[in-house]
Amino acid sequence: MATVFIPSQLRELSDGIPSVEIDAKNVREIVNQLDEMFPGFKERICLDGDIAPSLQVSIDNIMTSRGMIAKVQPHSEVHFIPAIGGG
């Protein structure tokens, strides 16, 4: 199962749980399962059916631009990271 790390900004939804193990093949399955476990999670990280532009997804320490269709391996580590803007 993939280890999914809950961003500190969303841990109020998970009762402070920092990570969970989820059996999923892609980010969409992870998001849907997180929303079942912690209602409101999907609403907070998604916009128009995809990952909100204010977030990045890291799978095994690699940032992905594939959003909800990004593939996840059984032993992956998945992080939802606030996007950093600059100029």
- How is the chain split into domains, by residue range? 2-82
Distances (CA, A) of 1 to 20, 34, 53: 9, 14, 27
27-66 residue pLDDT tens? 999 999 999 999 999 999 999 999 999 999 999 999 999 9
What is 20-65 written as a DSSP string?
A: EEE--SBHHHHHHHHHHHSTTHHHHHEETTEE-TTEEEEETTEEES
Distance of CA 40 to the CA centre of its chain: 13
Q: According to the model, what pLDDT value does residue 86 have? A: 58
User: Which CATH number is correct for 2-82, 3.10.20.30, 3.40.190.10, 1.10.357.10, 2.40.50.140?
Assistant: 3.10.20.30
The more confidently predicted of residues 19 and 7 is 19
Q: According to the model, what pLDDT value does residue 56 have? A: 94
Contact 38/14 with Cβ under 8 angstroms?
A: yes
Q: According to the model, what pLDDT value does residue 85 have? A: 63
pTM higher than 0.95: no
CB atoms within 10 A of CB 40: 12
pLDDT higher than threshold 80 for residue 84: no
